[in-house]
Structure 1
Amino acid sequence: MNEKRRNTDVPESEKLTQFDIFKSNYDINWRHVPVILGVPMLALLGALTTELTRPTLIWSIIFYFLTGFGITAGYHRLWCHRTFVASLPLQVFLLVCATASIQGSVIWWCTGHRLHHRYTDTSKDPYSVHRGLLWSHIGWLLVIEHDLPKGEVDVSDLTKDPLLIWQDKEFDWFSPVCALLLPTVVAGLGWGDWRGGFVYAAVVRLVFVHHATFSVNSIAHYLGDRPYDNKSAGDSTITALATLGEGNHCFHHAYPTDYRNGIRWYQYDPTKWIIALYGALGIATDLNTFNDNEIQKGMIQTSQRRLDDWNETINWGRSLRDLPVIDMDDFRASAKAGRPLILISGIIYDVTDWVAKHPGGKKIIKSAIGKDATAMFNGGVYNHSRVARNLLDNMRVGIVRGGMEVQIFSKQDVLIKGETTTIVEVAECTGDTTTGKGTGFTR
């Protein structure tokens, strides 16, 4: 079941909406516009005018997965979150594959993503979904907002890495070589399809890789269940299929240093599988996972919070702490005067609206008026269900002092909006709110 996205945990001053772009001081990011908007147009034109051969189709799919895993396993899970340790050859391989996706350098990409994790759903989140799906998908890439609050994250582990420093410095020429020249040359030298290699394995493939990655920022924060946290990231099979496993995103935001996103065997997460393969081959080590006990703690806490929120919307009847404490004689006098009051486990109930509806008939419930019906209610006549006890919650009007079945009274536990307490404790903390013997009840 999809759950409505929550924005309640974010301070008002930190919230932004999709309309804030019209209020801010911004410039067009001309460095990104040709890649984000121009490449899809070129891909469409090329696909309409270029034949797609079977070898090129197969190569395009293979290269899509290679470059996609370069982002998900390399940029995301290796360098950004350090979920495993890669050998130098594997690092070079993943770097080439990821660079072929033209999504900026590792240092640039990870800086933005770490900001996203630290400031999720706030104004300092570079691609907060609360600004709209279009903003979180591509809008944040197309403009530079000068008034946007700036967050801070530590990327010193990346800026000290010689390989990543080189890629960041040489990205402008290295990325088109990896993204456009490499797949074209393979198709051209391999089976003579230079044009098809450029159109499909390079340009069309690049569009698919881009929007698969962008979907993690947008759709993965819109669709899905949220069993681990109440923020916007969700677990969605649909998104996982589109993003090589990154759609199990609620888990990832809750446990970002786990190399898995889909922790169950049946959850689609090919990035997890490829990292596990790297581990089996000995080119990746220290694959980090969270202890299952800790994961279940998070699930329980999230479920409890939602139950608490739900609980607040339910009318549980007047709180025991707010009920007047009266003497047994006053209870009996009020019942004798015509008010249909029943005593059960020390609590007095007004059953005016229930006499005619009682499943056991009027005779039984009338026979208990003005009496201690604890034994009758708890099995003497019928052992009532929790539904019956819940119905009684809305009928309680007081607590009696003295004259009840003391043992049952002192041991009876009562659930008040998630709190378990004994009636004796409630009576002690409430005190006598009447003015004295003989005052009885007020409606």
Structure 2
Amino acid sequence: MKFEKIVNDEVLVKKPHKIEWQIIWANVIIVIYIHFTALYGIYLTIFYPIKLWTFIWFFAVGIFSNIGSTAGVHRLWSHRSYKAKWPMKLILMIFQTISYQGHIYGWVRDHRVHHKFTDTDADPYNARKGFFFSHIGWILVHKHPDVISKGAMIDLSDLKQDCLVVFQRKYDGHSLFCRSKFNKCLFYHRSISPTENAVVSFISCGEGWHNYHHVFPWDYKAAELGNYKLNIATAFIDFFAYLGLAYDLKTASAKIVKKRALRNSEIN
């Protein structure tokens, strides 16, 4: 049995086949180490007195690294949903670096491939391979050949002209690289598998409205109606826009969203 999927006017034929995983043991060890140290940190927090500054530092690093991923490498560099002046870009580059998700150039390349070839073998974190693979398993194995071949076709000229991206790529020593992706669709379009998740949106500073994002990837809010109560990254961008450091913020109007929802409800 096989099926065809049309992605950006290109027909991709997917045939069931047995995949021989080539494990990257260095990444496996790093992931295990990170999670064990996290558990150890929780243990110390519960059974030993922790200084207030430790808590403040923990939350600050967590929020800043999330903003580097969401407002920075995702919405600014991957989707160009808004523009930023160099002071803001420098801050976002630093925040993204401490997130330990690899350099901006590689992050953007894989994410653009993901949007162009969603849920095919060319998708780096293909959800059809399971929940674990799409969340973390994909960084523990070598990429599918389709990811590499299709990735070479992606236009990254804008990144090559960005001095901050070039600088970070040259000197960044991180090899580990992971992000989140979800499995099922709740609204807008049944052919798009990413789902909406308020809890994840809160934890990731506003990246849980994934089905909306796949319909309108160019919206700087990455969420319908902004969802400001859960979308810290949007508030961060708006604050810098107020300062004049972010501009040309792209967003889908309520009329466009309603029209798209009605059209998809008729199709489905």
Give the TM-score normalised by structure 1.
0.53
Cα distance change on mapping 1:237 and 1:167 into 2, 3 Å: same
Quick check: 1:252 aligned with 2:213?
A: yes
- Contact 2:183–2:193 (CA under 8 A) maintained in structure 1: yes
Quick check: 1:28 aligned with 2:26?
A: no
- Contact 2:82–2:220 (CA under 8 A) maintained in structure 1: yes
Residue of structure 1 in register with 2:82 after alignment: 84
* Code of the aligned partner of 2:208: G
- Contact 1:107–1:168 (CA under 8 A) maintained in structure 2: yes
Give the TM-score normalised by structure 2.
0.85
Q: Deviations over 1:261-319 (max 9, x none)?
A: 2232556322111111110111111111123332222111111012xxxxxxxxxxxxx
Quick check: 1:270 aligned with 2:232?
A: yes
- Contact 2:5–2:12 (CA under 8 A) maintained in structure 1: no
- How much does 1:230 deviate? 2.9
Q: Deviations over 1:30-80 (max 9, x none)?
A: 442233222112232344357432221122112210111010000100000
Which of the residues 45, 49, 55 maps onto 2:40?
Answer: 45
Q: Deviations over 1:347-390 (max 9, x none)?
A: xxxxxxxxxxxxxxxxxxxxxxxxxxxxxxxxxxxxxxxxxxxx
Which of the residues 255, 262, 266 maps onto 1:300?
Answer: 262
- Contact 1:159–1:165 (CA under 8 A) maintained in structure 2: yes
Quick check: 1:98 aligned with 2:90?
A: no
Cα distance in 2 between the residues matched to 1:145 and 1:112 = 10
Unmatched tracts of structure 2, length 5 or more:
none
- Contact 2:209–2:223 (CA under 8 A) maintained in structure 1: yes
Cα distance change on mapping 1:71 and 1:147 into 2, 3 Å: closer
Q: What is the 5 A alignment of 1:353-372?
A: none
Residue of structure 2 in register with 1:284 after alignment: 246
- How much does 1:120 deviate? 0.5
Residue of structure 2 in register with 1:70 after alignment: 68
Residue of structure 2 in register with 1:14 after alignment: 14
Residue of structure 2 in register with 1:225 after alignment: 186
- How much does 1:145 deviate? 4.2
Cα distance change on mapping 1:12 and 1:114 into 2, 3 Å: closer
Cα distance in 2 between the residues matched to 1:166 and 1:145 = 25
What is the number of residues matched between the two proteins?
A: 255
For the residue of structure 1 that corresponds to 2:142, the secondary structure is strand
For the residue of structure 1 that corresponds to 2:35, the secondary structure is helix
Cα distance in 2 between the residues matched to 1:72 and 1:228 = 23
Cα distance in 2 between the residues matched to 1:106 and 1:294 = 31
Cα distance change on mapping 1:100 and 1:15 into 2, 3 Å: farther
Q: What is the 5 A alignment of 1:369-380?
A: none
Cα distance in 1 between the residues matched to 2:141 and 2:236 = 35
- Contact 1:74–1:98 (CA under 8 A) maintained in structure 2: yes
Cα distance change on mapping 1:229 and 1:254 into 2, 3 Å: farther
Cα distance in 2 between the residues matched to 1:288 and 1:296 = 17
Q: Deviations over 1:122-157 (max 9, x none)?
A: 111111111100110111100004555531311111
For the residue of structure 2 that corresponds to 1:13, the secondary structure is strand
Q: Deviations over 1:66-124 (max 9, x none)?
A: 11101000010000011111111111111111100110100000100000000011111
Cα distance in 2 between the residues matched to 1:145 and 1:68 = 25
Quick check: 1:234 aligned with 2:207?
A: no
Cα distance in 2 between the residues matched to 1:237 and 1:71 = 18
* Code of the aligned partner of 1:236: N
Where do 4+ consecutive residues of structure 1 move more than 6 Å? Answer: none
Cα distance change on mapping 1:87 and 1:34 into 2, 3 Å: farther
For the residue of structure 2 that corresponds to 1:107, the secondary structure is helix
Residue of structure 2 in register with 1:167 after alignment: 168
Residue of structure 1 in register with 2:158 after alignment: 157
Unmatched tracts of structure 1, length 5 or more:
1-6, 177-209, 307-443
Residue of structure 2 in register with 1:370 after alignment: none
- Contact 1:25–1:147 (CA under 8 A) maintained in structure 2: no
For the residue of structure 2 that corresponds to 1:28, the secondary structure is coil
Q: Deviations over 1:383-423 (max 9, x none)?
A: xxxxxxxxxxxxxxxxxxxxxxxxxxxxxxxxxxxxxxxxx
Cα distance change on mapping 1:30 and 1:168 into 2, 3 Å: farther
- Contact 2:122–2:144 (CA under 8 A) maintained in structure 1: no
Cα distance in 1 between the residues matched to 2:33 and 2:249 = 39
Residue of structure 1 in register with 2:222 after alignment: 261
- Contact 1:87–1:283 (CA under 8 A) maintained in structure 2: yes
* Code of the aligned partner of 2:38: A
* Code of the aligned partner of 1:155: L
Identical amino acids, percent of aligned pairs: 30
* Code of the aligned partner of 1:249: H
